[in-house]
Structure 1
C-alpha cells in the first residue's frame, strides 16, 4: 500500500493542476487560482496522510477557520462540495493508467475517499449550523422591524381615534336630542333616516375600535362566553343592507349551542371586516353571488369559516396578506386584515385563509378549553 501512496504523492502537481482547471471551467473568474492552488496543496496533504486519522491531522483542526472564511465570503455550499468532488475525480484520473497492482490501488482509493467524505461532512455541518443561525438572526431582525411598524401604526391609530371620537360623541348627543325633541308624528317621518345614521355611526365606532388594536394598550373589554350564532347575527345587522343592495345570498350554518370565549366588540369587528371584504370581492362577480358561514368544534378549538365565491386573492400578496398596508382592493387601506390578525392574536387564536379561482375562505380558530388559565 505504501508503494501506491508514494506513487499518488508523486502525482500531486498533476492532480492539483487538473483540479484547478476543472474548477475554473465550472466557475470562471470566480476564484483566485493562485490562492486556490495553495489550498489545494493543503487539502492534498490532508487526504493522502493516511497514517494519521483524518480528524487528528493538524490541518483538520483548521477546518472551522477555513469554513468560516468561505461562509463569510458567501461561497455557496454547492461550490465547496462540487470542488471537493472534482478533487476526488482528479485523483482518480491521475491513477487511471498507473502501473500498480489493481487490488492495492482500489484499497488505497477507498481510504482516500473516506477521508474526503469526512471533510465534506464536516463542511456541510458547519454550513448548516451557521446558515440556521443566520436565518434565525434575520427572522429576529425582521420581527423587530415588524414590531416597530406596528408600534408606529399604534400611535397613529390612537391619535386618530381620539380626534375622531370627540366629534362622534357630539353627533351621538345630537341624534339623541333629535329623537327626544321631535314630535312623534314628525319622528315617524324621519325614523328610517335616523336609523341609517345610527347604523353608520355604530360602524364607524367599530372601525375605531379596530384601529385601537394597534395601540400599545389593547381595547379594555372583558372576555365573556358568547353564543357564536348570536354574535354572527349581531354583525349581520350592520351589513344586511349591503347584502340586499348587492344581491348576495347569505347562508349561515352554525350549531345553535356553539359558544366561544371572546371580547365581544373586537370579535364583532373581525367578523364585520371579513364579511365586508367578501361583499367587496363579490362586486366583480357577474353571476350568482354567495357568502356562507359555517362552524365546527372539536376537543380544543372552535372553528368559524366565512367563504365567498368571489375571485382568487392575487398570488403576489397571499404570503403577506395579514401585514399592514397590504391590500388587493383599489381603494383599500390594507389595515382590515391586519386588524383581524391582531385581534385574533390577542385572543390566542388564529386566522388563516385559502383562495382558489372559484372561492375564498377565511378560517378563524378560537381556543375552546382552559379559558380560566389564559392571560389576555
Structure 2
C-alpha cells in the first residue's frame, strides 16, 4: 500500500488525466466558452496550486491573482468576461475531478489537504469580490450624491435665470397697471388703450421666455405648433418690443430683407431666439461710447432661409468658440449662460441651426432654416 507521498507522486504523474477531466466537466457547463489552449493553461495552473502541498497556501499570491494566472480578480471578471459564478463552479469542479479521477488511489488525508486549498481559494475570491462590491457601492453612492447636487445646482441656476428674465417685464406690467387705474378714473381711455398695448407686449415677452425654457428642458408639454409666417412679421413684432431699449441705448438698427420670405416655424419660440440675440447685441454694444450698430439681414438660397443678426461691438473671446452654446457658459458678469443654449435647442427643434463668427469689427449670429424641398 502506497503512503501519502507515493500517492501524491502518482497523482502528479497523471496530471493530464486530471486536467482533461476538469476541462471536460467545465465545457459541459459552458460549451465553447474558451479555446482549448486557454483552458489547458488554466487547468495546469489550477492543478499545480491544488497539488503543491509542500507550499503553504498563504505563499500563493491569491489576494491579487487567481491560481497563479497572474490576472487580478477584477481584471479577470471585467476584462476577460469571466463571471464570478463561473469561478466558483471551476473550483467546485476540481473537487469533482479529484473524487472521480483519483477515486481508486487518492487517500482521504490527501483529499482533505487538497480540498482545504480549494476552500482557501474560494475564501480569498469571496473576500476580493466583497471588497470590490463595497468599493463599487461607495463609488455609486458618491456618484449619486454628486448627481443629486448637480441637479439641485441646475434647478437653482434655472430658477435664477427665469427670475432674471421675468422680473423686468413684471415690473413694467405692474407700473402700467397703476397708470391704467389712474387713466380709467379720469376717463382717459385713449391713453388707457396704449397702456394695455404695453402690458400685452410685456406678457408676450414673458411667454417667450417661458417657451424658451420649455424648449431647453426638452419636455413635450406645451410644445408650440409650427406655422407658416413671414420673417418680416416676426422681426416687426420683436423690434416693437425692443424699440424702447434701442432708443435708450442709442443703437442704430437697420433691416434688410431680400424678399417677403416665409418661415415654417414655432413663432413664439423663434421670437425668443431673435429677442435673445438682439438683447445680447445691445449688451455687447454697451461697451462702446458711440456709433453703436446692429444690422439684421434676411436672405435665402435653394435650401435655406437665413436671418443674420450682426453688431459692431467687441469680439467674442476665442476661448468661447467651442462652448458658447453649452448651458451656463457666459462671459457676462451677471449672465446666466442659458440664452444661447436655449437658442440652440429651439433652432434644432425648428429644423434649423445657429452659428456665429466674431472678429474685432463685427460679431454675427446666423440662423439657418431648412426649406421643405419636395423630392420631385
Deviation (angstroms), 1:331? 1.1
Could you report, residue by residue, the CA deviation over 1:255-297 in whole angstroms, capped at 9, with x for unpaired residues?
2321111010000100111011001000001230110011221
TM-score (norm 1): 0.51
2:317 to 314, 325, 334: 314
1:279 to 276, 282, 285: 282
Task: Give the conservation status (yes or no) of the 8 Å contact 2:306–2:368.
Answer: yes
Distance (Å, rounded) in 1 between the aligned partners of 2:337 and 2:161 = 16
Taking a change above 3 Å as real, the CA distance of residues 155 and 287 of structure 1, as seen in their structure-2 partners, is: closer
Distance (Å, rounded) in 2 between the aligned partners of 1:152 and 1:268 = 28
Is 1:241 the counterpart of 2:244? The answer is yes
Could you report, residue by residue, the CA deviation over 1:193-246 in whole angstroms, capped at 9, with x for unpaired residues?
554444333322211111111224244222111111111111111100011111
Distance (Å, rounded) in 1 between the aligned partners of 2:154 and 2:268 = 20
Taking a change above 3 Å as real, the CA distance of residues 369 and 150 of structure 1, as seen in their structure-2 partners, is: farther
Task: Give the conservation status (yes or no) of the 8 Å contact 2:287–2:313.
Answer: yes
| Aligned-residue CA RMSD (Å) | 3.9
Taking a change above 3 Å as real, the CA distance of residues 230 and 371 of structure 1, as seen in their structure-2 partners, is: farther
Could you report, residue by residue, the CA deviation over 1:29-50 in whole angstroms, capped at 9, with x for unpaired residues?
xxxxxxxxxxxxxxxxxxxxxx
1:223 corresponds to which residue? 226
Distance (Å, rounded) in 2 between the aligned partners of 1:371 and 1:232 = 27
Structure 1 residues not aligned, in runs of 5+: 1-148
Is 1:289 the counterpart of 2:283? The answer is no
Task: Give the conservation status (yes or no) of the 8 Å contact 2:306–2:367.
Answer: yes
Deviation (angstroms), 1:186? 4.1
SS at match of 2:372: coil
1:127 corresponds to which residue? none
**Residue range with higher mean Cα deviation, 149-158 or 236-245:** 149-158
Distance (Å, rounded) in 2 between the aligned partners of 1:302 and 1:151 = 40
Distance (Å, rounded) in 1 between the aligned partners of 2:374 and 2:292 = 38
Deviation (angstroms), 1:329? 1.3
TM-score (norm 2): 0.51
Distance (Å, rounded) in 2 between the aligned partners of 1:155 and 1:262 = 31
Taking a change above 3 Å as real, the CA distance of residues 261 and 152 of structure 1, as seen in their structure-2 partners, is: farther
Task: Give the conservation status (yes or no) of the 8 Å contact 1:227–1:260.
Answer: yes
Kindly tell me the number of residue pairs found equivalent between the two proteins.
Answer: 221
Taking a change above 3 Å as real, the CA distance of residues 152 and 214 of structure 1, as seen in their structure-2 partners, is: farther
SS at match of 2:276: helix
Larger radius of gyration: 2
2:364 corresponds to which residue? 361
Distance (Å, rounded) in 2 between the aligned partners of 1:301 and 1:263 = 16
Task: Give the conservation status (yes or no) of the 8 Å contact 2:273–2:343.
Answer: yes
Distance (Å, rounded) in 1 between the aligned partners of 2:242 and 2:317 = 25
Deviation (angstroms), 1:157? 5.4
Task: Give the conservation status (yes or no) of the 8 Å contact 1:158–1:212.
Answer: no
1:37 corresponds to which residue? none
Task: Give the conservation status (yes or no) of the 8 Å contact 2:315–2:360.
Answer: yes
Structure 2 residues not aligned, in runs of 5+: 1-149
